[in-house]
Amino acid sequence: MNDIFDKIRKDAGPIGRHAKQAHGYFAFPKLEGELGAHMQFRGKEVLVWSLNNYLGLANHPEVRKVDAQAAKDWGLAYPMGARMMSGQTKYHEQLEDQLSDFMQKEDTFLLNFGYQGCMSCIDALLGRHDVLVFDSESHACMMDGARLHAGRRFMFQHNDMASLDKQLEHARKVAEQSGGGILVMTEGVFGMAGDQGKLKEIAERKKKYNFRLFVDDAHGFGQMGEHGRGTGDHQGVQDQIDIYFGTFAKSMASIGAFISGPEDVIMFMRYNMRSQMFAKSLPMPIVIGAIKRLEMMLTMPELGEKLWEITNALQSGLKEAGLDIGTTNSCVTPVYMKGGVPEATNVVVDLRENHGIFCSIVVYPVIPKGEILLRLIPTAAHSLEDVKRTIESFKTVSAKLTAGEYASEKIATF
């Protein structure tokens, strides 16, 4: 019999194998100072493009004021216990009602965390006779939710409707034999590439294949659609989304999440989502803060307008400079380059140390070998001067990468 730690020490995983060199710089970096477009990294000021703070609410004075007052009034402990037992308040119910109205759905249920909430939602929705069909580039929380499913599951190629049709044919046959139903799962905005899920095209297939549609719109909520209602609203199919999942962790710059849908289904979820039944209720300052953030989304359209001004300037400027931003049609802005992990780390070091630009780096195994993805997240807190500076920096490092100046056999260390 082996020690369970032996395999861990022999195989750190595809990302963990670089942990010693990456930790504290490329992975688990410490950004310090006031949250915003300009922060401190290792004692130097950097222009930050890695925070999902789309509307700039993270450090907005009105948000800070409400958060601080709610913490003073309630503390972080209130309410104690799970919602079902002792964690229910009128403010939790108020936020759910307001989100239902905003999302144009019958009912809403608050979730403590986005990742575990999404997983648990999928787990509760599906029985062993049901069939799951999901996009190949779904977020990790959706993939983990799929792994929890005891029944059959089929994966279709990313945003490929011919592949979806093929998998739906398989799913229908299985469901007819098992007596189960079909759930199709995709994202509103894919967080790495920034392209929207083809919600309209998927919804057009509901009648033929008789499925329900689950949309994780973590990156769409707050930035897409009227007042940030989401990608379904943007594509004109909000009423075709059966279960809408949104998070507070991005546009609302907080923590927690929610699901919206039919009243009877949401009530079922209240009594069957294990991650909520057996976990403490969202603390009151988070709930009060979310109410304020939702109000600002509805009454301050200038936040969304500024976000899109920065987004359009950044994306058009990068394209004009000859940089590849893929197929994004959202605020998420990937920049694709060619090279291995050593080249990628050298690019990032140059950007951070010599240009003062801090963005997220994505390499294999998240994307194919030989590809580098630098992900930029524009926000309402950025300025057009920030955009100009970033484009010039990316032009410089792209030219150096092409010229082979970052070539190395080892990843950069710091």
- Position 409 confidence tier, pLDDT thresholds 50, 70, 90: low
Q: What is the pLDDT of residues 237-296, one digit of tens each?
A: 999 999 999 999 999 999 999 999 999 999 999 999 999 999 999 999 999 999 999 999
**What topology is assigned to 4-59+301-402 in CATH?**
Aspartate Aminotransferase, domain 1 (3.90.1150)
Closest CA to 203 of 175, 166, 161, 266: 161
Structure token pair of residue 201: 């095209």
Choice among 214-218, 265-269, 340-344 with the minimum mean pLDDT: 340-344
pLDDT at 17 over 70: no
Q: What is the pLDDT of residue 6?
A: 84
pLDDT in tens, 80-93: 999 999 999 999 99
pLDDT confidence band for 14 (50 / 70 / 90)? low
Query: Which of 39, 103, 60, 104 shows the shortest CA–CA distance to 303?
Result: 60
Q: Stretch 384-407: mean pLDDT, rounded?
A: 95
Q: What is the pLDDT of residue 10?
A: 78
Domain-wise residue ranges, the chain = 4-59+301-402, 79-282
More confident residue, 94 or 23: 94
Identify the pLDDT of residue 367: 74
Position 413 confidence tier, pLDDT thresholds 50, 70, 90: low
What pLDDT score does 1 carry?
82
Cis peptide before 283 (omega within 30 of 0): no
Average pLDDT over every residue of 111-133: 94
DSSP string computed for 140-204: HHHHHHHHH--S-EEEEPTT-HHHHHHHHHHHHHHHHHHT--EEEEEESB-TTT-PBP-HHHHHT
Cβ count near 151 (within 10 Å): 15
Q: What one-character-per-residue DSSP string does 247-272 give? A: ESSSTT-SS-EEEEE-HHHHHHHHTT
Look at strands 131-135 and 371-376 and give their pairing.
Answer: unpaired
Mean pLDDT calculated for residue range 226-238:
96
May I ask the CATH architecture of the domain 79-282?
Answer: 3-Layer(aba) Sandwich (3.40)
Selection from 172, 143, 144, 141 nearest residue 155 by Cα: 143
